[in-house]
Amino acid sequence: METQHAASLPLQSNSGEQIMRTRIQATLPLLLLFLSSCLVAQSASKTLQVYSIDVEGGQATLIVSPTGQSMLIDTGWPGFDGRDADRIVAATKLAGVQQIDYLVITHYHRDHVGGVPQLADRIKIANFVDHGDNMENADQTRTGYSDYLATISQAHGKRLTVKPGDHVPISGIDVQVLTAARQHISRPLPGGGQPNSLCASEPAQPDDPTENSASLGVLVSYGKFRLLDMGDLTKKAELALVCPNNPLGRVDVFFVTHHGLDQSNSKAFVRAVHPRVAIMNNGAHKGGSPEAWQTVNDTPGVEDLWQLHYAMDSDQKHNSAENLIANVNDAEGNYLKLAAQNDGSFTVQNSRNNFQKSYAAAVRRR
């Protein structure tokens, strides 16, 4: 009996395995479809995060790609007991990143490059991206550039000098260089190339021998979403870029150039890029000039103009509604956070009051 029972076991086992194999084969396509749907949903839910950090009239913009890589545009001021570096590090913790993968320095003025040494003491910076050598003959600018080079050496970072048309190799998004070292792209981008009818009415602008005119400007794209940051590019360089034809096309979000000063933000430039939302990285007593504010605010299609600070040297009619302003007093340190989906939709949130506004994906027309 034992022999018969033992002999029958393999037959029962083979039969059970065959039934199980058949069931797995039947359910495998459904399982794969389910897993594929989960991956698609997970991918669709990933966002591009952008933190506009308050560095009191300088610039520091933290960008975190959907893959988790980080890019910081500028570092704010030196000094102030490391105030700006501390605020940047606080933003990296909120964003869940452990290092700065790419630090993009638009130009070598103190309110943009000055915070580099203090920041490097607090967090690892892997790659330093810039337009090349300093192009301004001023003591403070030469010092800022020298300190920047010394920090790269001390941090054992990699320096990437870029030119118009290059791409910052961050994963998950496309970051294209538009201007650098007083040069600009020569070919239109997809959606660009249209004649700019406002060029003829722009007055002639003076030459700018400062680092502002050498600013490294970038277009950040994630799917259909487009964000433009031109550093402190001044008017003559703006017009050289978008006249007689606009190679950029339209953008969703425009970081108002040069903290909202009227040395920049020509009407022919701002209206050419036709932003839906503008974010101004002004300080309480720097930037936010009435002329530039009005140019951006009156641009057709602009839904909202967000500000890092209430411009105290201006007036109420040249400041946005309070819900759209991160800091209403002299020094507060609140930030604005943008979260974008690859379909082009996005939200902007004010950390001071948690006010948030959502913007649907735009319909692009040539």
- CA pair distance 217, 112, nearest whole angstrom: 13
- Prediction pTM value: 0.88
* pLDDT score for 18: 60
Mean of pLDDT values over 61-65: 98
Q: Is 32 helix (H, G, I), strand (E, B) or coil?
A: helix
* pLDDT score for 331: 82
Predicted confidence (pLDDT) at residue 136 exceeds the cutoff of 50: yes
Predicted confidence (pLDDT) at residue 35 exceeds the cutoff of 70: no
Predicted confidence (pLDDT) at residue 34 exceeds the cutoff of 80: no
Residue 17 — pLDDT band, cuts 50, 70, 90?
low
Mean of pLDDT values over 286-305: 97
Predicted confidence (pLDDT) at residue 16 exceeds the cutoff of 70: no
Query: Which tens digit of pLDDT belongs to each residue from 324-359?
Result: 999 999 889 999 999 999 999 999 999 999 999 999
Q: Is 244 helix (H, G, I), strand (E, B) or coil?
A: coil
Least confident of 10-14, 231-235, 293-297: 10-14
Residue 362 — pLDDT band, cuts 50, 70, 90?
confident
Residue 66 — pLDDT band, cuts 50, 70, 90?
very high
Predicted confidence (pLDDT) at residue 32 exceeds the cutoff of 90: no
Which is nearest to 107 in space by CA: 220, 235, 217, 224?
A: 217
* pLDDT score for 15: 53
Residue with tokens 């105290």: 312
Which is nearest to 58 in space by CA: 261, 228, 218?
A: 261
Tell me the two tokens of residue 26.
């039947």
Predicted confidence (pLDDT) at residue 141 exceeds the cutoff of 70: yes
Query: Which tens digit of pLDDT belongs to each residue from 95-121?
Result: 999 999 999 999 999 999 999 999 999
Helix (H) or strand (E) holding 245: strand 245-246
Mean of pLDDT values over 149-176: 97
Mean of pLDDT values over 290-295: 98
Higher-scoring residue by pLDDT: 225, 33: 225
Predicted confidence (pLDDT) at residue 286 exceeds the cutoff of 50: yes
Average pLDDT over the chain, rounded to an integer: 90
Predicted confidence (pLDDT) at residue 44 exceeds the cutoff of 90: no
Predicted confidence (pLDDT) at residue 74 exceeds the cutoff of 80: yes
Question: DSSP assignment of 157-196, as one string?
Answer: PEEEE--TT-EE--TTSEEEEEEETTEE--SPPTT--EE-
